[in-house]
């Protein structure tokens, strides 16, 4: 964590350089030494910078906004040589202490005045200690980490509606923010999640907050057409326990997915067939490939019969189960083979048609081409020929080749695998297209009155200009919720270009923050420049005293596979510059949090 803005460590800049301890002042003023030229040049250049800063300070009365524009002014000027010369004479660089650039310049100029015998120009205005403490408290109020490392934000999975043990474990692990994404789950589920978190936090006497993401207009793939698909019960590498039950009692079963789950699967059959089953009976199963298997019932109750199945076995709605009882053969078909999403896969060169004249968002396959339908026409109207379209975080790249009034024809120019599946509810990015839409969608506006009842922080996605934030401020004010903190998610090219004005709008709101969505920025076309880009954003926000949430693809391998990559561990050292670290969903959340805390303790 960076030092408090109001602390001595952050403000103190040495007013005496070691160079001065052995510098003969009298001789320096008499002799035309090369040091004179360098020192005079530095003093003049610094005073020129102060003149520019004076104009900024008169135009921007807020000290945080002032300091941000000081930093931008230094970034725009060729001060590399100046900083090298300052370092040669043991001075701090102009941007060494970003939270208080004016104080740095004042102290360097004051020291150089004694060396060059120049008249000291008027000092730039800097806040006093009390004002700095107020700024520090305001910027740290939203995200105040513990144990000297960033606070933790966790995206809640759907089962947080019922899994109270998971929530209790996360709160005990020092997760202070729980994120709810409105792109998923229902409104009632979100309310229940927030209620569960607050109830458990109160029981544990912990302070936690609920951050709600407004989904904005981000396009997602819709629902695929449904079809009956064969189910793989077992393969050559696993042994599966089959639960045979009556279709009257089968309210849930593993056979609704493409394969058995946790080495168990349920087959629902007719009630008449179940009455014939007894322990030790032999059942003959004719699978989808016409292969017969004989299995022995190892356990039987009134409602269930169990047997073990080995070897590759695939069943469908036409598979047959037979049992012989008192020389009478009884047959049954699986009753719980349900409709599954059609598997839609594409490869390089395939055509994808994107439609806008269908009310429901759907996907379907027609021969070798794939069709995707959106209900929102605004995005497609902005597309141009040769604009790129990314699906599922860049796993599939499309290029628009024809634009029509009601559809766009695109060609697959890259797919991660030979045949990459287009899954449901996956994000779609338009990196080359300037979307003429507000960050707040019509759905966001409808949901906001209910969201503010349980949200502690509002995260607004796809912010592009300050107007998006101003619109949200007005809506919150109309709902008497203007005190709610706002976090702007930086994830598009336009949001990066307009970041200074976005930060200014946030600062005038009161409590604020910026979410650095690294992977979204990479998908927007900045893969190669992402390391430099995220560092620039972190430094700009540091200069503006703006808290930053370090987000997307943080410790993703560790969250999903329990084993972090080397790049993820190194990434944590960069993330310590932020105020908050955001983790997504995964089966190894608790282990990942403990690993993060161990790594931070060594930094």
Q: Which helix (H) or strand (E) holds 293?
A: strand 292-296
Mean pLDDT, all residues of the chain: 80
Quick one: which of 179, 118, 46, 199 has its CA closest to 461?
179
pLDDT of 34 above 60: no
Whether the CB-CB separation of 410 and 358 falls below 8 Å is answered with: no
Q: Clarify whether residues 561 and 581 are in a common domain.
A: yes
Report how far residue 576's alpha carbon sits from residue 590's, in angstroms, rounded to the nearest whole number: 19
Burial degree of 198 (CB within 10 A; 0-12, 13-18, 19+): middle
Instruction: Give 504's pLDDT tier (boundaries 50, 70, 90).
Output: very high
Residues 254, 259, 262, 266: is their CA dihedral positive or negative? positive
Please tell me which residue, 434 or 507, carries the higher pLDDT value.
507
Which CATH number do you get for residue 366? 2.40.33.10
Whether the CB-CB separation of 578 and 548 falls below 8 Å is answered with: yes
Q: Clarify whether residues 446 and 533 are in a common domain.
A: yes
Which CATH number do you get for residue 518? 3.20.20.60
Residue 119 pLDDT: 59
Please tell me which residue, 18 or 434, carries the higher pLDDT value.
434
Q: Could you read off the pLDDT of 303-341 as tens digits, one per residue?
A: 788 888 777 788 888 888 888 877 788 888 888 777 777
Residue 376, classed as helix, strand or coil, is coil
Q: Clarify whether residues 330 and 357 are in a common domain.
A: no
Residue 79 pLDDT: 78
Q: Clarify whether residues 246 and 212 are in a common domain.
A: no
What residues contact 326, with CB distance under 8 A and at least 6 apart?
Answer: none
Instruction: State which of 322, 340, 358 marks the end of a domain.
Output: 340
Q: Could you read off the pLDDT of 56-66 as tens digits, one per residue?
A: 888 888 888 99
**Which DSSP string do the residues of 80-142 spell out, in sequence order?**
HHHHHHHHHTTPPPTTSSGGGHHHHHHHHHHHHHHHHTPPPPPPPP---HHHHHHHHHHHHSS
∠ Cα 46 47 50 (to 5°): 90
Whether the CB-CB separation of 452 and 476 falls below 8 Å is answered with: yes
Residue 69 pLDDT: 92
Report how far residue 443's alpha carbon sits from residue 85's, in angstroms, rounded to the nearest whole number: 56
Q: Clarify whether residues 17 and 110 are in a common domain.
A: yes
Quick one: which of 509, 515, 504, 380 has its CA closest to 437?
380
Q: Could you read off the pLDDT of 191-235 as tens digits, one per residue?
A: 999 999 999 999 999 999 999 999 887 677 777 777 777 777 776
Report how far residue 577's alpha carbon sits from residue 150's, in angstroms, rounded to the nearest whole number: 8
Q: Clarify whether residues 455 and 592 are in a common domain.
A: yes
Instruction: Give 155's pLDDT tier (boundaries 50, 70, 90).
Output: very high
Percent residues over pLDDT 70 in the chain: 82
Report how far residue 38's alpha carbon sits from residue 468's, in angstroms, rounded to the nearest whole number: 48
Please tell me which residue, 41 or 386, carries the higher pLDDT value.
386
pLDDT of 455 above 90: yes
Percent residues over pLDDT 90 in the chain: 29
- In angstroms, the Cα distances linking 63 to 2, 50, 70, 93, 297 are 19, 15, 10, 21, 77
Buried b (16+ CB within 10 A) or exposed e, 91-110: bbbbbebbbbbbbbbbbbbe
Token pair belonging to 15:
């007013």
Residue 248, classed as helix, strand or coil, is coil
* Most confident of the ranges 29-38, 257-266, 485-494, 518-527: 485-494
Distance, first Cα to last Cα, the chain: 10
Q: Clarify whether residues 362 and 416 are in a common domain.
A: yes
Report how far residue 542's alpha carbon sits from residue 202's, in angstroms, rounded to the nearest whole number: 33
pLDDT of 17 above 60: no
Residue carrying structure tokens 């202490």: 97
**Interval 379-390 mean pLDDT:** 85
CB count, 10 Å around CB of 136? 18
**Which DSSP string do the residues of 160-207 spell out, in sequence order?**
GGT-HHHHHHHHHTTEEEEEEETTSS-HHHHHHHHHHHHHHHHHHT--
∠ Cα 558 559 563 (to 5°): 20
What Rg value do the Cα atoms of the chain yield, rounded?
A: 31
**Interval 137-165 mean pLDDT:** 80
Q: Is residue 1 part of a domain?
A: no
Q: How far is CA 516 from the centre of its chain?
A: 8
Instruction: State which of 298, 317, 340 marks the end of a domain.
Output: 340
Q: Clarify whether residues 349 and 444 are in a common domain.
A: no
Domain encompassing residue 565: 141-217+437-602
| Bridge partners of residue 411, in order along the sequence | 351, 399
Residue 550 pLDDT: 95
Q: Clarify whether residues 448 and 578 are in a common domain.
A: yes
Instruction: State which of 429, 450, 485 marks the end of a domain.
Output: 429
Instruction: Give 29's pLDDT tier (boundaries 50, 70, 90).
Output: very low
Burial degree of 45 (CB within 10 A; 0-12, 13-18, 19+): middle
Q: Clarify whether residues 202 and 239 are in a common domain.
A: no
Q: Is residue 2 part of a domain?
A: no
Instruction: Give 15's pLDDT tier (boundaries 50, 70, 90).
Output: very low
Q: Is residue 3 part of a domain?
A: no
Instruction: Give 430's pLDDT tier (boundaries 50, 70, 90).
Output: confident
Residue 589 pLDDT: 93
Q: How many domains does the chain have?
A: 4
Residue 361 pLDDT: 52
Residue 260 pLDDT: 44
381 DSSP assignment: H
Q: Could you read off the pLDDT of 327-381 as tens digits, one per residue?
A: 788 888 888 777 777 778 888 888 888 876 555 556 666 666 677 766 555 677 7
Helical ranges in 356-430 per DSSP H = 378-382
Residue 357 pLDDT: 56
Q: Clarify whether residues 598 and 476 are in a common domain.
A: yes
Residue 337 pLDDT: 76
Report how far residue 67's alpha carbon sits from residue 443's, in angstroms, rounded to the nearest whole number: 37
Residue 522 pLDDT: 86
Report how far residue 595's alpha carbon sits from residue 206's, in angstroms, rounded to the nearest whole number: 22
Burial degree of 317 (CB within 10 A; 0-12, 13-18, 19+): middle
Residue 90, classed as helix, strand or coil, is coil
Whether the CB-CB separation of 343 and 421 falls below 8 Å is answered with: yes
Q: Clarify whether residues 467 and 548 are in a common domain.
A: yes
Q: Is residue 99 part of a domain?
A: yes
What residues contact 345, with CB distance under 8 A and at least 6 apart?
Answer: 419, 420, 421, 422
Half-sphere exposure (CA, 13 Å, Cβ side) for 171? 22
Residue 129, classed as helix, strand or coil, is helix
Q: Could you read off the pLDDT of 512-554 as tens digits, one per residue?
A: 899 999 988 888 766 788 888 999 999 999 999 999 999 988 9
């Amino acid at each position: 964590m960076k030092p408090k803005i109001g602390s001595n460590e952050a403000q103190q800049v040495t007013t005496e350089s070691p160079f001065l301890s052995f510098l003969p002042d009298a001789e320096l003023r008499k002799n035309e030494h090369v040091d004179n030229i360098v020192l005079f040049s530095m003093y003049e250049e610094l005073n020129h910078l102060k003149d520019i800063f004076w104009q900024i300070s008169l135009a921007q009365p807020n000290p945080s906004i002032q300091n941000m524009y000081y930093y931008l002014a230094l970034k725009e000027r060729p001060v590399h040589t100046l900083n090298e010369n300052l370092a040669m004479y043991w001075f701090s660089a102009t941007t060494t202490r970003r939270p208080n650039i004016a104080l740095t310049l004042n102290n360097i100029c004051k020291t150089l005045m004694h060396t060059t015998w120049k008249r000291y120009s008027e000092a730039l205005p800097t806040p006093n200690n009390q004002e700095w403490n107020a700024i520090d408290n305001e910027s740290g109020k939203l995200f105040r980490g513990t144990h000297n490392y960033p606070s933790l934000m966790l995206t809640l999975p759907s089962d947080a509606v019922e899994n109270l043990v998971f929530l209790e474990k996360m709160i005990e692990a020092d997760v202070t923010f729980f994120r709810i994404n409105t792109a998923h789950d229902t409104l009632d589920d979100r309310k229940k999640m927030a209620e569960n978190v607050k109830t458990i936090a109160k029981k544990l006497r912990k302070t936690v907050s609920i951050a709600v993401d407004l989904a904005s207009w981000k396009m997602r793939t819709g629902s695929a057409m449904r079809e009956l698909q064969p189910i793989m019960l077992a393969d050559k590498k696993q042994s599966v326990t089959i639960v045979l039950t009556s279709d009257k009692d089968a309210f849930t079963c593993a056979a609704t997915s493409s394969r058995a789950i946790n080495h168990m699967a349920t087959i629902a059959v007719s009630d008449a067939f179940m009455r014939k089953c007894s322990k030790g009976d032999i059942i003959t199963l004719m699978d989808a490939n016409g292969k017969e298997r004989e299995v022995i019932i190892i356990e039987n109750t009134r409602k269930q019969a169990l047997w073990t199945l080995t070897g590759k076995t695939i069943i469908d709605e036409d598979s047959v189960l037979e049992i012989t009882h008192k020389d009478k053969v009884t047959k049954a078909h699986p009753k719980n083979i349900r409709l599954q999403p059609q598997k839609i896969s594409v490869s390089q060169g395939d055509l994808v048609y994107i439609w806008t004249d269908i009310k429901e968002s759907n996907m379907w396959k027609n021969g070798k081409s794939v069709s995707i339908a959106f209900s929102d026409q605004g995005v497609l109207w902005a597309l141009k020929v040769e604009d790129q379209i990314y699906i599922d975080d860049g796993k599939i790249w499309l290029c628009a080749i024809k634009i029509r009034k009601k559809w766009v024809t695109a060609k697959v120019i890259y797919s991660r695998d030979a045949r990459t599946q287009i899954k449901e509810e996956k994000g779609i990015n338009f990196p080359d297209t300037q979307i003429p839409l507000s960050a707040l969608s019509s759905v966001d506006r409808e949901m906001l009155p209910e969201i503010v009842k349980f949200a502690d922080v509002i995260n607004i996605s796809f912010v592009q200009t300050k107007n998006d934030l101003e619109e949200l401020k007005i809506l919150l004010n109309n709902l008497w919720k203007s005190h709610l903190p706002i976090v702007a998610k930086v994830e598009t090219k336009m949001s990066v270009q307009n970041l200074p004005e976005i930060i200014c709008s946030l600062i005038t709101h009161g409590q604020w923050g910026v979410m650095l969505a690294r992977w979204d920025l990479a998908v927007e076309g900045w893969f190669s420049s992402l390391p430099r880009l995220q560092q620039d954003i972190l430094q700009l926000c540091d200069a503006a005293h703006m808290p930053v949430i370090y987000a997307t693809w943080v410790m993703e391998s560790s969250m999903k596979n329990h084993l972090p990559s080397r790049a993820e561990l190194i990434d944590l050292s960069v993330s310590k510059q932020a105020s908050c670290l955001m983790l997504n969903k995964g089966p190894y959340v608790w282990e990942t949090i403990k690993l993060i805390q161990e790594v931070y303790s060594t930094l």
